[in-house]
Amino acid sequence: MPYLEPIDPVIVQAEPLRRWTADLLERIGTPPEIAADVAEVLVAADLRGIASHGTARLPSYVALVEAGVLEPAARPARVGGRGAIALFDAGNGWGHHAGRVAMDDCIDRATETGVAVSVVRNTNHYGIAGWYAMRALAKRMIGVSLTNASPLIAPTRARVPMIGTNPIAVAVPAGRHGGIVLDMATSTVSRGQVEVAGRRGDTLRADWAIAPDGSPARTVEEALAGALQPLGGDEQGRGYKGYGLALVVDLLSGLLPGASYGPHILGLFSTEGPSELGHFFMAIDPAAVGDAAEFEGRAEEYIDLLAAAPTIPGAPGPVLYPGQLEAERAERNARSGIPIDREHHAGLVALGERLGVPFGT
Amino acid sequence: MPYLEPIDPVIVQAEPLRRWTADLLERIGTPPEIAADVAEVLVAADLRGIASHGTARLPSYVALVEAGVLEPAARPARVGGRGAIALFDAGNGWGHHAGRVAMDDCIDRATETGVAVSVVRNTNHYGIAGWYAMRALAKRMIGVSLTNASPLIAPTRARVPMIGTNPIAVAVPAGRHGGIVLDMATSTVSRGQVEVAGRRGDTLRADWAIAPDGSPARTVEEALAGALQPLGGDEQGRGYKGYGLALVVDLLSGLLPGASYGPHILGLFSTEGPSELGHFFMAIDPAAVGDAAEFEGRAEEYIDLLAAAPTIPGAPGPVLYPGQLEAERAERNARSGIPIDREHHAGLVALGERLGVPFGT
């Protein structure tokens, strides 16, 4: 819901953008089938309107490869596990590829085991968490995707950032509605949203971020030099719930597979060294405990009840289900092109020129 | 953290309270081994300082049995499942017993399968979600416990309550620190906390509840007649994240096992009919993907880093990990008795008198 449309955008078509992204990634040493996964996930973010996690990040990703801190040709390998849980080592390769492989693996296994988990270590930024959870929808399964990230959140009472904005993504098949897709950071807002508010001259809310001295950040500069607040804000606002969720995501996606965690994580886009992130994926097959069609029928009915609810005064529209706006935007953007902002576009053009893969649009 | 000590309390000892509770439950037709589970969970809540979910609820539970809407002698039966997931039907019996059985079952199975899930339908209120997650700690496993509940939260933009305060509980073994135990409702605050604020004359925060007309509730009366806000508060405060979490808990614990859900749920303590709740439990064995002692060592170190963090001005103490205060209080209360408020005490005395099981203290 917080994703704003760019002002004065350039319109690019999804399919050429995906092809160009894959070509560019191949040019820097990524094997074609790995490049295809990375391009798919990045363009999916652009389609869904989550520009901060899409192709706008390509210059940062390329810098990681050029600095030698991300191995573009690495392939994830299964290195452990038992029964319904598997451990993968991503070989410090693309997180998007390792994530796709590990998620698909647990979806396949869940056909037998009803529930299955994959955890991944030695991996990198994987883009939007929701994409992996949504892989389960095609098999009419529930998907879960968690990852840790650069320390940006200050735990409740702390003055410094120590935990990532570690997202929680869950996708649930919902019949004619497609899927319910929750994909949320465990901070109140992202750094990107702080920056946007600053550019628009909006005041920062007290539950968004703290300044370096620990007081609520009033300016973008204070916020970016300080730390984000966990979901809920300060202790009075029950921000310890958001902090607890962020910590649990780190325990499952970072500590469990033996990845880095918390304040030990280098910036995701730091060229100082590998980020050593971890991911956690789970698939649950509703058919293992009942009739899958009846399950989806109940999910459909739930959505219908929510959509028909009486609304508060001044509501900007009806009650939405998680992922509804993103799905509608993806459908529109697939049809009529993805609006990207001028800075994003200029970044892609410059990158294409430098690497000899001209950006077409 | 939000659990306040009662003012002018009566001190009761845990062991006699547990025995009396079990005797009382047996008197109304609960078999001894089921009564032992219910008493254990209720007294655990009192020990941890979560009075709203402990023996203070006994009059309400007894009313359910006396009204014939909860079967005190029902035993949960495994009625489905495949591989690492099992489905239980609780036979409309005690949620505490069904929860203990289903959680222990998935812990046992996780020894083989690494990860295992139990879902339960046709069940009732099970007390504190965290108790079941914590069962995994004794086996050095990660435990997860989710349940749905009476509709009290208004989804973002809605004017009426439609979703429970559906809690998320996760327990992670942490070496010498015992365990990290997140146990949180997905609303900003509980109805009980609204009532307490009212009795103390505190103003209600705008992110706590809405009045029946959909505006922020300013008085306890408005709040109780209206609906709770999801974690985060309104749409500007990112309350749709709390709403999304509450919904996902309902999809996993309610829809997946075929239980009731959302606005269809009767009040948990309504004597009009069975509550038909659902639960979801999961156990993950860290030893299935690595060295369990190393995993716990990392959790210990994480806690140490958090505890040593520099704090914000005016912080009431150091950074805490989830469940730390509750564990400290449980240890103290086990040693020197549980302080309960006068109303709670009078309720137990009256109940004991009426049922011929005198309350000793």
Residue A196 clears pLDDT 90, i.e. is over it: no
Question: In this predicted structure, what is the pLDDT of residue B89?
Answer: 98
Of A268, A289, A285, residue with least CA distance to A277: A268
B214/chain A closest Cα distance in angstroms: 4
Residues 16-55 of A with CB under 8 A from B: none
Contact A114 B117 (CB under 8 A): yes
- Beta-carbon count within 10 A of B49 CB: 22
B85 touching chain A per CB within 8 A: yes
What six digits make up the tokens of B177?
Answer: 């620190």
A160/chain B closest Cα distance in angstroms: 7
CA gyration radius for chain B?
20
Please, which pLDDT band fits residue A32 given cuts at 50, 70 and 90? very high
pLDDT digits 0-9 by tens, A67-93:
999 999 999 999 999 999 999 999 999
Residue A136 clears pLDDT 90, i.e. is over it: yes
Contact A309 B160 (CB under 8 A): yes
Backbone φ and ψ for B192, nearest 5 degrees, come out as: -60, -40
The class that CATH gives domain B76-185+237-322 is alpha beta
Question: In this predicted structure, what is the pLDDT of residue B3?
Answer: 67
Question: In this predicted structure, what is the pLDDT of residue A1?
Answer: 45
Contact A84 B82 (CB under 8 A): no
The nearest alpha carbon in chain B to A190 belongs to B238
Question: In this predicted structure, what is the pLDDT of residue A303?
Answer: 98
**What integer best gives the mean pLDDT of chain A?**
96
Contact A252 B142 (CB under 8 A): yes
- Cα A161 to the center of its chain, rounded Å: 20
Amino acid letter for position B318: P
- Tell me if residue B81 falls in helix, strand or coil: strand
| Mean pLDDT computed over A220-235 | 95
pLDDT digits 0-9 by tens, A272-296:
999 999 999 999 999 999 999 999 9
Backbone φ and ψ for B235, nearest 5 degrees, come out as: -65, -40
The nearest alpha carbon in chain A to B142 belongs to A252
B346/chain A closest Cα distance in angstroms: 31
A119 near A280, Cβ under 8 Å?
Answer: yes
Question: In this predicted structure, what is the pLDDT of residue A3?
Answer: 67
Segments in chain B below pLDDT 50? 1
Of A154, A188, A244, the CB nearest to B182: A244
Phi-psi region of B249 (alpha: psi -120 to 50; beta: other; left: phi over 0): alpha
A149/chain B closest Cα distance in angstroms: 15
Q: Which of A52-61, A191-200, B232-241, B316-325 has the lowest mean pLDDT?
A: A191-200
Question: What kind of architecture, by CATH, is found in domain A76-187+234-322?
Answer: 2-Layer Sandwich (3.30)
Amino acid letter for position B38: V
Contact A315 B157 (CB under 8 A): yes
Q: Dump the DSSP string for B261-296.
A: -GGGPPPTT-SSS---EEEEEEEE-GGGSS-HHHHH
Of B83, B263, B309, the CB nearest to A155: B309
Question: In this predicted structure, what is the pLDDT of residue B85?
Answer: 98
Domain boundaries, chain B: 1-66+334-361, 76-185+237-322, 189-228
Residue A348 clears pLDDT 90, i.e. is over it: yes
- Tell me if residue A198 falls in helix, strand or coil: helix
Question: In this predicted structure, what is the pLDDT of residue B5?
Answer: 83
Which chain B residues have a beta carbon less than 8 Å from that of A310?
A: 158-160
Which chain A residues have a beta carbon less than 8 Å from that of B310?
A: 158-160
Question: In this predicted structure, what is the pLDDT of residue A81?
Answer: 98
Instruction: Please indicate whether residue A12 or residue B204 has the higher confidence score (pLDDT).
Output: A12
CATH number of A1-66+334-361: 1.10.1530.10
CA distance A321 to B244: 8
Secondary-structure percent of chain A, ordered helix, strand, coil, rounded to 5: 45, 15, 40
Contact A116 B115 (CB under 8 A): yes
Residues 126-165 of B with CB under 8 A from A: 142, 154-160, 162
Which chain B residues have a beta carbon less than 8 Å from that of A306?
A: 155, 158, 162, 262
Question: In this predicted structure, what is the pLDDT of residue A2?
Answer: 52
Question: In this predicted structure, what is the pLDDT of residue A232?
Answer: 95
A182 near A174, Cβ under 8 Å?
Answer: no
Kindly state the DSSP code that residue A175 receives in the 8-state scheme.
G
Please tell me the CATH superfamily of domain B189-228, with its number. Answer: Hypothetical oxidoreductase yiak; domain 3 (3.30.60.50)
Number of A–B residue contacts, CB under 8 Å = 294
Q: Half-sphere exposure of A40 toward its Cβ, with a 13 Å CA cutoff?
A: 16
A132-160 in b/e form (b: 16+ CB < 10 A) is: bbbbbbebbbbbbbbbbbbbbbbbbbbbb
CA distance A251 to B181: 12
pLDDT digits 0-9 by tens, A141-163:
999 999 999 999 999 999 999 99
Nearby residues of A254 by Cβ (< 8 Å), 6 or more positions away: A148, A260, A261, A262, A265, A277, A278
Residue A137 clears pLDDT 50, i.e. is over it: yes
